[in-house]
Structure 1
Amino acid sequence: MSQPTLKDRINDALKTAMRAKEKERVAVLRLVMSEFKRIEVDERIDVDDARALALLDKMVKQRRDSEQQYLAAGRSELAAQEAYEISEIQAWLPAALSAAELETIVTQAIADAGVTEMRDMGKAMALIKPQVQGRADMGEVSKLLKAKLSN
Structure 2
Amino acid sequence: MTTLKAKLQEDLTDAIRARNELASSTLRLTLSAITNQEVAGKEARVLSDEEVLKVIAKEAKKRREAADAFAQGGRPEQAARETAEGEFLDTYLPKQLGEAELEAIVAQAVEEAKAAGAEGPRAMGAVMKIVNPKVAGLAEGGRVAAAVKKHLS
Range class of TM-score, shorter chain:
0.7 to 0.9
Question: What's the CA shift for 1:55?
Answer: 1.9
Q: 1:116 and 1:138, CA in 2 relative to 1: closer, same or farther beyond 3 A?
A: same
TM-score (norm 1): 0.85
Structure-to-structure mapping, 1:117-132, within 5 angstroms? 117-132=120-135
SS of the equivalent of 1:84 reads: helix
Contact 1:57 1:133 in 2 (8 A): no
Q: Which residue of 1 aligns with 2:138?
A: 135
Pairing partner for 1:26 from 14, 24, 32? 24
Question: What's the CA shift for 1:83?
Answer: 1.1
Number of aligned positions between the proteins: 148
Q: Distance in 1 between matches of 2:131 and 2:61?
A: 19
Pairing partner for 1:5 from 3, 10, 18? 3
Q: Deviations 1:70-127 (Å, cap 9, x if unpaired)?
A: 1112111111110111111111111121111101211233344534243342233233
Q: Which residue of 2 aligns with 1:56?
A: 56
Q: Deviations 1:127-149 (Å, cap 9, x if unpaired)?
A: 32233233222111101101212
SS of the equivalent of 1:134 reads: coil
Q: Which moved more, 1:120-129 or 1:31-40?
A: 120-129
Question: What's the CA shift for 1:30?
Answer: 0.7
Runs of 4+ in 1 over 4 A off after TM superposition: none
Q: Distance in 1 between matches of 2:103 and 2:94?
A: 18
Question: What's the CA shift for 1:31?
Answer: 0.8
Q: Distance in 1 between matches of 2:149 and 2:77?
A: 37
Q: Distance in 2 between matches of 1:84 and 1:58?
A: 15
Q: Distance in 1 between matches of 2:51 and 2:121?
A: 28
Pairing partner for 1:144 from 130, 143, 147? 147
The runs of 5 or more residues in structure 1 that have no matched partner are none
Q: Distance in 1 between matches of 2:129 and 2:17?
A: 42
Q: 1:35 and 1:119, CA in 2 relative to 1: closer, same or farther beyond 3 A?
A: same
Q: Distance in 2 between matches of 1:53 and 1:131?
A: 16
Q: Distance in 2 between matches of 1:122 and 1:11?
A: 39
Q: 1:46 and 1:116, CA in 2 relative to 1: closer, same or farther beyond 3 A?
A: farther
RMSD: 1.9
Q: 1:87 and 1:122, CA in 2 relative to 1: closer, same or farther beyond 3 A?
A: same
Q: Which amino acid aligns with 1:77?
A: E
Q: Which residue of 2 aligns with 1:69?
A: 69
Contact 1:105 1:128 in 2 (8 A): yes
Give me the identity figure in percent.
Answer: 34
